[in-house]
């Protein structure tokens, strides 16, 4: 990509990220006189109305997983009641401890604690913490495994083995915590290749990684086989259920073909599970779980000789917004098992309609055998050009690399009447348009094509750093 092309790309991204420059005042300094609250609220309401239609009408993959007006009003009211709570000060707000302990317990039992013979509240039972999101849950888990094996086996050059489909947060953990990550290929069904994982294990391996479901393809790794591999080598296994953790248990109860994936599988040592996705809690909450309190204790930070007093924190943050944990707790107990089963059933019905419809479009294919989130690609048309055409029709989707594909995380917004059918119709229109116009230019297609093809990955890294710089422009 030439320098001019790169500037064009960054310029288009700048326009996409900052569309309000001409309409609203830009603040680069604290105003001398505070802006009246009614004006602030007016601007907030205008922004909310401008941005809500695409996700509200089911055009966005993931992002807003519930979106029902009554549910939003309910969790907002709960947050408002708890907006001043800080979990750092449990002497002032012991309610925070109640909410978080119960969030962990409910999630642990949903993910097989009792059936695994590891009941919540016992020394060797399933335990955990509430975090700010899936990335923090994954980061904490990998930091915990690193510290555990440093103490137990003296491993000072730790390694993990992760399929290429594992979430980017594992690479972030590897970078942050100086853990070497050995990336392994997938099998023909877009699941972890167990033989390749076995071959990648070394004496310094502290953890294996599996996903249920993985983000790119929505497939479930063969966790029972990977668990057996972890037990054989006496290492830990982390199952990333950030995306599927609050979907798969209910899908299984509804009769979907869900293979073993949680703490019922021997060898599973930890899991990450996002409550703010299919748990329908507000953004900013997730859960990390461990098999036994001894393992979890390696997550904690403590300081015993600080002049500021005895200091301890279970997660990366010190101060944390108690309103989010309260709203998360309220979401779980108010939706209930009946609500989750109903929601999951409606999402799976929409997914079935989309799969059936997409497979009638010549040249398209579903990758693997996903449950819930899925990806589709093509060997006949440029799928990134198809994604550009879908974007032009209002859809907010994610492009995948190697192989080129489009990722979809259907939510309750997609389960609304007519949304699945509208999506299939727009995909059909987009594919036909690309077939008739194969030399289309512009959009994200050339960016994704370049990112997939360029051999010098340092160039791609630099471009992504510039994209993040664009985000912070005034």
Question: Residue 16: what pLDDT?
Answer: 86
Question: Residue 421: what pLDDT?
Answer: 98
pLDDT exceeds 60 at position 453: yes
Tell me the pTM: 0.95
Q: Nearest to residue 345, comparing CAs of 415, 277, 282?
A: 415
Per-residue pLDDT tens over the stretch 122-181: 999 999 999 999 999 999 999 999 999 999 999 999 999 999 999 999 999 999 999 999
| DSSP code at position 396 | B
pLDDT exceeds 90 at position 66: yes
Question: Residue 439: what pLDDT?
Answer: 84
- The C-alpha atoms of residue 225 and residue 142 are separated, in whole angstroms, by 21
Which residues, at least 6 apart from 246, have a Cβ–Cβ distance to it below 8 Å? 110, 273, 274, 275, 277, 278, 279, 280, 340
pLDDT exceeds 60 at position 2: no
| DSSP code at position 2 | -
| % of the chain beyond a pLDDT of 70 | 96
3-state secondary structure the chain: CCHHHHHHHHHHHHHHHCCCCCCCCCCCCCCCCCCCHHHHHHHHHHHHHHHHHHHHCCCECCCCCCCCHHHHHHHHHHHHHCCCCECCCCCCCHHHHHHHHHHHHHHHHHCCCCCCCCCCCCCCCEEEEEECCHHHHHHHHHHHHHHHHHHHHCCCCCEEEEECCCCHHHHHHHHHHCCEEEEECECCCCCECHHHHHHHCCCCEEEEEEEECCCCCCCECCHHHHHHHHHHHCCEEEEEECCCCCCHHHHHHCCCCCCCCCCCCCCEEEEEECCCCCCCCCCCCEEEEEECHHHHCCCCEEECCCCCCCEEECCCCCCCEHHHHHHHHHHHHHHHHHHHHHHHHHHHHHHHHHHHHHCCCCCEEECCCCCCCEEEEECCCCHHHHHHHHHHCCCECEEECCCCEEEECCCCCCCCCCHHHHHHHHHHHHHHHHHHCCCCCCCCHHHHHHHHHCCCHHHHHHHHHHHHHHHCCC
- The C-alpha atoms of residue 390 and residue 384 are separated, in whole angstroms, by 10
250, 254, 259, 264 alpha-carbon torsion, rounded to 10°: 50
Per-residue pLDDT tens over the stretch 210-233: 999 999 999 999 999 999 999 999
pLDDT exceeds 90 at position 12: no
Average pLDDT of the residues in 277-287: 98
Length of the chain: 474
Alpha-carbon distances of 357 from 64, 112, 389, 422, rounded to whole Å: 24, 35, 18, 10
pLDDT exceeds 90 at position 412: yes
Q: What is the β-pairing status of strands 159-163 and 268-273? A: unpaired
Residue with tokens 């012991």: 94
Per-residue pLDDT tens over the stretch 259-276: 999 999 999 999 999 999
Average pLDDT of the residues in 310-314: 95
Question: Residue 441: what pLDDT?
Answer: 74
- The C-alpha atoms of residue 148 and residue 120 are separated, in whole angstroms, by 21
Which residues, at least 6 apart from 283, have a Cβ–Cβ distance to it below 8 Å? 133, 276
Average pLDDT of the residues in 228-251: 98
Is the distance from CB of 103 to CB of 275 less than 8 angstroms? Answer: yes
Which residues, at least 6 apart from 294, have a Cβ–Cβ distance to it below 8 Å? 123
Question: Residue 446: what pLDDT?
Answer: 57
Mean pLDDT computed over every residue of the chain: 95
Question: Residue 445: what pLDDT?
Answer: 61
**Confidence class for position 456, pLDDT limits 50, 70, 90:** confident
- The C-alpha atoms of residue 42 and residue 62 are separated, in whole angstroms, by 28
- The C-alpha atoms of residue 270 and residue 288 are separated, in whole angstroms, by 7
Question: Residue 455: what pLDDT?
Answer: 72
Tokens encoding 230? 């972890």
Domains in the chain: boundaries: 94-332
Domain 94-332: which topology? 3.40.640
Output phi, psi for 418, to 5 deg. 90, -15
Question: Residue 440: what pLDDT?
Answer: 81
Q: How far is CA 328 from the centre of its chain?
A: 16
| % of the chain beyond a pLDDT of 90 | 89
Is the distance from CB of 412 to CB of 346 less than 8 angstroms? Answer: yes
Output phi, psi for 57, to 5 deg. -90, 5
Question: Residue 59: what pLDDT?
Answer: 96
3-state helix, strand, coil split of the chain in percent (to 5) is: 45, 15, 40
Q: Is the peptide bond before 463 cis (omega within 30 degrees of 0)?
A: no
Is the distance from CB of 328 to CB of 279 less than 8 angstroms? Answer: yes
């Amino acid at each position: 990509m030439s320098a001019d092309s790169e500037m064009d790309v960054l310029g288009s991204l700048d326009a996409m990220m900052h569309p309000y420059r001409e309409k609203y005042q830009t603040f680069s300094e604290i105003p001398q006189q505070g802006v009246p609250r009614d004006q602030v609220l007016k601007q907030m309401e205008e922004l909310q109305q401008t941005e809500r239609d695409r996700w509200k009408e089911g055009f966005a993959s993931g992002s807003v997983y519930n979106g029902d007006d009554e549910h939003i009003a309910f969790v907002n009211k709960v947050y408002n009641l708890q907006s001043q709570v800080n979990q750092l000060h449990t002497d002032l707000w012991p309610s925070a401890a109640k909410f978080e302990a119960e969030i962990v317990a409910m999630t642990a039992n949903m993910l097989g604690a009792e059936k695994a013979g590891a009941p919540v509240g016992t020394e060797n039972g399933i335990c955990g913490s509430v975090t700010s999101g899936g990335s923090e849950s994954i980061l904490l888990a990998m930091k915990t495994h690193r510290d555990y094996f440093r103490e137990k086996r003296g491993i000072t050059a730790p390694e993990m083995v992760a399929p290429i489909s594992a979430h980017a947060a594992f690479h972030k953990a590897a970078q942050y915590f100086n853990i070497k990550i050995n990336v392994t290929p997938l099998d023909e069904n877009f699941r972890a290749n167990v033989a390749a994982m076995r071959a990648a294990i070394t004496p310094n391996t502290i953890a294996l990684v599996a996903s249920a479901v993985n983000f790119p393809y929505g497939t479930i790794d063969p966790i029972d086989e990977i668990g057996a591999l972890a037990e054989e080598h006496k290492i830990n296994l982390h199952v990333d259920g950030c995306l599927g953790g609050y979907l798969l248990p209910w899908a299984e109860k509804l009769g979907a073909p869900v293979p073993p994936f949680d703490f019922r599988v021997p060898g599973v040592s930890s899991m990450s599970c996002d409550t703010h996705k299919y748990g329908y809690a507000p953004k900013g909450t997730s859960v990390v779980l461990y098999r036994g309190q001894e393992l979890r204790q390696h997550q904690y930070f403590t300081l015993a000789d600080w002049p500021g007093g005895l200091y301890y924190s279970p997660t990366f943050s010190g101060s944390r917004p108690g309103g989010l944990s309260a709203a998360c707790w309220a979401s779980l107990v108010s939706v209930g098992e009946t609500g989750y089963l109903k929601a999951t059933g409606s999402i799976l019905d929409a997914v079935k309609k989309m799969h059936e419809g997409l497979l009638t479009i010549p040249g398209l294919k579903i990758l693997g055998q996903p449950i819930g989130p899925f990806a589709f690609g093509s060997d006949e048309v440029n799928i990134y050009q198809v994604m550009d055409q879908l974007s032009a029709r209002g859809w907010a989707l994610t492009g995948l690399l190697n192989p080129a594909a489009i990722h979809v995380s259907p939510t309750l917004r997609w389960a609304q009447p007519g949304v699945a059918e509208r999506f299939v119709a727009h995909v059909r229109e987009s594919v036909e348009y690309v077939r008739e116009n194969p030399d289309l230019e512009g959009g994200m297609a050339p960016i994704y094509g370049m990112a997939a093809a360029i051999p010098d990955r340092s160039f791609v890294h630099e471009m992504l750093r510039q994209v993040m710089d664009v985000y912070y422009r005034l």
